[in-house]
Amino acid sequence: MPASNILELKSFIRAIPDFPKEGILFRDITPLLTDREKFRDCIDFFVSITKEKIDCVVSIESRGFIFGSALAYALGAGFVPIRKEGKLPHKKHSKSYDLEYGTASIEIHEDAFVRGSKVILIDDVLATGGTVEASIHLVEKLEANIYGLYFLIELPVLKGRERLKQYPVHTLISF
């Protein structure tokens, strides 16, 4: 995507200081989502970089679902949610991970996809990489093959990409 288009997309992302807690600069994507052209541009970008036929798009609760389901539809692939602990009703695998302010756990259904499935993992933001690293653990536990990690936004100062060196990482916007 041309740099001018990326700059235009960035202008649709609000910076909210001190949310959800003091000292955090939150990147609010809702203005981008409400603009049909800009939202389509984001999904089209992710489609354009997908070079393999993908079986499933895996995404992380909750904003990742917005991009994951649209991308799965555009690619003709299945959609697999990774949810916060206690939200999935069937047999599942769990993984705990550290946050800047505590710990969290995420889960995936044991039968989310068949062994050897080609998957893309997508989320809205790559920050420290802890959530996506835990998600990778769950996907690999089900013996799927990860063909890419996609993010709308990357916050390079938090060095999340460094934790994910063994995978192709694609981001659309950096702040």
Cα dihedral: 63, 16, 95, 75 (round 10): 30
Q: Does the active-site annotation cover 100?
A: yes
Residues written for the chain? 175
Is residue 36 part of the annotated active site? The answer reads no
DSSP 19: -
Phi, psi for residue 17 in degrees, rounded to 5: -75, 150
Catalytic hit among 8, 61, 63, 163: 63
- Contact indicator for 147, 127 with CB cutoff of 8 Å: no
Q: Which amino acid does the sequence have at 3? A: A
Which residues partner with 122 through β-bridges? Answer: 59, 150
Q: Catalytic: which of 100, 110, 140, 162? A: 100
Query: What amino acid positions are annotated as catalytic residues?
Result: 63, 100
